[in-house]
Each structure stands twice: as structure tokens, then as C-alpha cells.
Amino acid sequence: MARLGKNDVVSIEDLTTVEIERIFELADSFAASLERGAALDRAHGLIMATLFYEPSTRTRLSFESAMHRLGGAVISSADMQASSAAKGETLADTVRVVGAYADLIVVRHPRDGAARVAAEYAPCPVLNAGDGSREHPTQTLCDLYILRRKKGRLHGLTVAICGDLKFGRTVHSLIYALARFGANIVAVPYNGMNVPGYVLDRVAAQGKYGLSTVTMEELRSLAGGIDALYLTPNAPHQMALFTAEMPLGGAPPAAAPPAALDAFYLTRLQRERMDDKESAAGKYGRFDARALKTSRTHEAVVMHPLPRTDELAYELDSDPRAVYFEQAAAGVPVRMALIAWLLEQNGIERARPAAPAPAIRFKAHPAPRCSNPGCISRHEGAYLAPRFRLGRSADPTVLALICEFCERELKIEFVGHARTRRYYRFDENLYGYVRSWIEEGALAVFESVKQAEESGYEPYRRGPQREIMNAEEVAAACRALATQMAADLPDFAAVTIVGVVSHGALLAMRLRDLIEAETGARPPCAALDVFGGEAAFHPLDGAGGRLEVGERTIALVDDVINSGWTVQRAMAALWQRGRPAAVKLAVLIDCGHRAVPIRPNYVGKHIPTARAERVQVRLTPPAGTAAGRAKVQDRVVVYSMVESLKEGAGAG
């Protein structure tokens, strides 16, 4: 028996849509053979280990049943308190050891990000059976499988997800998956247990889906008279309910007819993940048959990952629309299918999602620590260094670092440069510098002035800044760029404009508008964050759909080239997504010095500068965006890199 390839399923996003469809095809055939009582030996000789650090009934037993049904064997640690974990063994050590006894590990753990750590350390594939409040991908497979069976499709469903949306890991994986299938998701948080920002941030990069949030009270009135309920998009995440189609970011068509609800997905309060204050707050909702009585809900199925507590009335059990026991039963054929799919992958090179940008290496000690008390990095510190990537905070006075394990945002107020040993209070204008310091491996971050100074850093101030281009000159340079592009680029039907986040992306949208005015063509436009990993390539301005790189001519846009490293990185990120027919580079300002052999095809303006000078482009963000409320005038300024506060302290 060949060992399984190292295909971990930590997130539902580790499986492509095509792979999910294949798993369902296999599940259908296993469901039929289970029905016939046929004996199977597909997994003969394989051993699966189940390591459960948290209670489980359905997930563990259905995984184990699935493996037995496939003719494989199971070794199980159903209660890790009875294992060496109770003696303080780390997760990494446990999975390395168990990986020598089994071909496949299924793990459930109370910490956010634990499954990823297990996957990194185990020599064999790891399947996430629930990690803290993060994800539960195999439950989502069961949920989708039943939805597809009941509704005949997965695309474009309208699903109300009710309950504890903050800590409910089944909900998070389900949202990621439904968004991918273009669903209209109606989030109904109980007691303010809202979908966390990090989940919304992740789905925001998906194509076309809708997500609206309504309160429990609104749901009640919906249950009483859904036909009359029709909310309008007057607040963020509060969009029209049940519109037939809701493009992300745009207002739904005003006269769209309300669509029917396909499913209610209920969840229990995840009390074990809350502090006492949270779990005592408010009253949790209870769902009963009344909600299914309206013309817009009578076709809806009622789902629940189980176990239920008080949120779901027993009276519903005999209703044919109650499908939660079918979801639980699907655990066996679906998990059989997942194991069989893993077997099918042996020897096959899978198309992997683009590798995320490497974690930031911090200079200065101590390195930052994740602020989420439930994060695995806080509990397995003996071997697990905190890992962060760069985020974008809504607050311009803090630098957002995103924890690689749990995706929570850490807000940093003070940043420093390790070579010059200067520190600054962060503001948005430093973002570009911070990116280049990360490239150099020179970023230091501090919680306070005291911490910075104790680490041997001194305060830093920028040299005086002088304006070198005003708004009119910026507009002229943009026009010059657009004219060059319009004249040189081939058929615009094959062109995609890609702007490097953040100013390159603003510029890309402007150039697209100018090109449209000049040629009538409106090529798709996307933003690329070279530090943002997989989710960092997203359509701009309603371009919609999946962005193709292969065979396209990419017009890569950035505001200014200083060293050229960012452009180099952007090209690498593009190539991970496909092989473009050509890449043309457009920059607003070229300062003339370079660390890599890169030369722009189109330049708005050449501004030769001294090496210690930095050119900074400020562009007014489009109206209607959060950033657009800030009063920023188009301008280009230049200032010197380093100026010490102390006489003669020496600048790097």
C-alpha cells in the first residue's frame, strides 16, 4: 500500500471547487454501496489515527466508521487527556510520533490554528476535524453535500446562518465555501456573536456573493412576515435581503424581486470558547416551525451541525425539511469519499494555491505576540515562533499585522528600522517604508516607546518635505501614461490592468478610466498586494469573476519605482497564478535608481533624485470608499530618508 501524498485539509479552501465536486461524486457512489451493503477494500492496509483534544461524537465516529467501511484500520486517541498531552507533550511532537504509526491523521484541537501546526509537523496528511473557533472543513463537506442533494445545486443559494457566528467554526468554513459558490448569505448573529472581521476579509477576495447581516429581531419579523421584509443597503453588511442576485460591493438592483430562502443553518452557542462575561450576555434565540410558515421560507431546509442545545426545537424533527440528521449521517459516505480522494491523489501533482508571502522576520526582541488568547502560537511557544504577515488596518495610525496561525489582527503603534536603529510612531505614510524594511529584514515593532528605547532605538524624524508635483501635474502625468498605454498596448480585450496595492491600485483605476475615455475599451482591473498571500489578488471596481493571468497581457501599474523590488515581487506573484502573454510596466514616477534590472515601459514623469531621498505619491482615493473620506489631495512630495533628532547621532 503506497503511503498517501502529503495533501492536508486544514481549511475548506485547501480543496478546489472541482475537487469538492469529485468528492461528492465519490460520496454518491459510497452512499449507494453502503445502501447495498457492499464490502469495500479501497483503503486496505491503510491506518488512520484520530487525535481528539476536544469532545466529539459525530466527527470522530463517522471518520472511524468511514475508514472501517473502506477496509482500512483505525487507531484512536479519543481523549487526549489520556495521552502524553496530559504530561505536557507538544502538538508537534505528538503528530510526528503518531505519523510513524499511521498513514493519515485526523485532529481536533481547542486552539485556533492547531490543525495547521499539526499539518506542518506531521509526515503524513492531516485532516482538520475542528481547530478552536477557526474551521471545520469536513463538516462543511457534509453540509454542502446535503444542500446539493436537497436543492439540486450549490451555486447561487440563499442561506441564513444563525447563531454564534463568532466562534462557530462550522460557520466559518461554510461561509468560505458558500461564498465561492456565489451564495447569498444572510448572517443572523445571536447576542452580537457576529461573523469576525478576519472571516469577512477572507471572503471579500472571492468573486460574486452576497453577505447581509440581520438581527435576531429582524429574523423574527421575517418569520412572521418575510414577504413584507425587504431591507435596503443603508449600512455596511446590511444589504437587501433575498435579492435574486447581489454583486459584491455594488448596490443590489432596486427592483429585484425577493428570492426565497433555500436553507436555515443553525448553530449552538460555543460556550466553551467564551469568557464568563460573553456567555452570560443576552438570550440565545430559539428556532421553531413558525419560521417555515411564510411563502419565502416554506421551501427552506433546516440544517444544524449538531449537537443542539436549546436553539432548535425538537418539534421540527419530524418535518421533512429538517435535514440535520441527514447531515450527520452523510458524515460516513462523505468522509469515505475524502479518504478515497486522498488515495486518488497519490502520484498526482495537484495545482496548489499560490504560496503565501513568507512570514515577516522581525529584528528587535521581543518579537510581537498574537493578541488572541486562543491562538495556538500562545500555547505551543516552546517551538512555535509567532508568525505574521502585513495587513491593512482601517485605522491609519496603527500597523496591522496578521497572525499566520489564527488570522487575527495585531495592532502595532511603533515601528523601527534595525539598521538605523530609529523608531517611529506609525502612520499610514510609513506603510511603503515598512514594506521595504520587511524586504530588507530590518523591521522592528514595539508596543511602546519604552520598549523601543529599551531595545536601543532612538526617535526618528523625517527630513522636511517638499512638494514636487501638484494635483494638476499629477493629472497631466496620469494622462501622459494613459496615452502611452493606449498607443502601445495591443487589443484591449486581452489586457488586464493590475495595480500594486495601495497607490498602484488607485492609479490603475484612474488609468483604466482614462483609457476608456480615449479608446472606448474598459479592460478588467485588479489589485495585487505583494505582501498579502493568496487573497491579495482581487478585482477592482466591479470587474467581477475570476481573474485570469494566463495568456493575458498584464499592464502592471505602480506609483513610483524606487529600488524595483516591489515590481520584481509583483511579477513573481503574477507568475504563480499563470503565465501571462506579456507584462508591461507603467509607473507614474521613475526616480532613476534601481537595485534590479527593471525598466518601465510607460512613465508619467522622470524625477531624478538623490539616493537618500524618497519620493512619495499621494492620490485621492475614489469617493465612496472609507479611505475616500480622508482629505488627501493628489500630490507628489520628496523628502530625505533619515534625519536624526540628536545632533551627530549618525544616519544609516
Query: Footprint of ligand NCD on this chain (CB under 6 A)?
Result: 58-59, 130, 136, 139, 169-170, 267-268, 305-307
Q: Shortest approach of ligand NCD to residue 146 CB, angstroms?
A: 13
Cβ nearer to ligand NCD, comparing 58 with 180: 58
- The answer to whether the bond into 84 is cis (omega within 30° of 0) is no
Euclidean distance between CA atoms 580 and 634, whole angstroms: 32
Q: Taking the complex as a whole, how short is the minimal distance between the CB of residue 269 and ligand NCD, in angstroms?
A: 9
Nearer to ligand NCD, 54 or 428 (CB): 54
CB of 305 to ligand NCD, least distance (A): 4
By beta-carbon distance, which residue lies closest to ligand NCD? 305
CB of 42 to ligand NCD, least distance (A): 24
Chain-centroid distance, C-alpha 163: 22
Q: Are 637 and 468 in contact (CB under 8 A)?
A: yes
- Nearest CB to ligand NCD, comparing residues 284 and 388: 284
Cβ closest to ligand NCD, residue 58 vs residue 335: 58
Rounded Cα distance, 456 and 365, in Å: 11
Report the alpha-carbon distance of residue 320 to residue 341 in Å, rounded: 31
Q: In terms of CB distance, is 328 or 603 closer to ligand NCD?
A: 328
Q: Nearest distance from residue 480's CB to ligand NCD, in Å?
A: 57
Q: Between 131 and 409, whose beta carbon lies closer to ligand NCD? A: 131
Minimum CB–partner distance for residue 330 and ligand NCD (Å): 11
Please provide the DSSP assignment of 102-167 as one string.
-SEEEEEESSBTHHHHHHHH-SS-EEEEEETTTB-HHHHHHHHHHHHHHHS--TT-EEEEEE-TTT
| CB of 125 closer than 8 Å to CB of 226 | no
Q: Say how far apart CA 15 and CA 338 lie, in whole Å.
A: 10
C-alpha to C-alpha distance for 80 and 88, rounded to whole angstroms: 11
Residue 266 or 478 having the CB closest to ligand NCD: 266
Looking at beta carbons only, is 331 or 604 nearer to ligand NCD? 331
- Using the minimum distance from each CB to ligand NCD, give the nearer residue, 173 or 294: 173
First to last CA, the chain: 60
Helix (H) or strand (E) segment spanning residue 484:
helix 471-488
Counting beta carbons within 10 angstroms of the beta carbon of residue 397, is it exposed (0 to 12), middle (13 to 18) or buried (19 or more)?
exposed
Question: Cβ of residue 331: shortest distance to ligand NCD, in angstroms?
Answer: 8
281 Cβ neighbours under 8 A, 6+ residues apart: 191, 192
Q: How far is the CB of 166 from ligand NCD (least distance, A)?
A: 13
Q: How far apart are CA 552 and CA 460, in angstroms?
A: 45
Cα 251 to chain centroid, rounded? 23
Task: Indicate the residue among 243 and 267 with the shorter CB distance to ligand NCD.
Answer: 267
SS (H, E, C) 164-229: CCCCCHHHHHHHHHHHHCCCEEEEEECCCCCCCHHHHHHHHCCCCCEEEECCHHHHHHHHHHCCCC
| Residue 341: all three cell numbers together | 480522494
CB of 59 to ligand NCD, least distance (A): 4
Cα–Cα distance measured from residue 529 to residue 237, given in angstroms and rounded to the nearest whole number: 24
Rounded to a whole number of angstroms, the minimum distance from the CB of residue 57 to ligand NCD is 8
Report the residue number, 267 or 294, with the smaller CB distance to ligand NCD. 267
E strand or H helix at 424 = strand 422-425
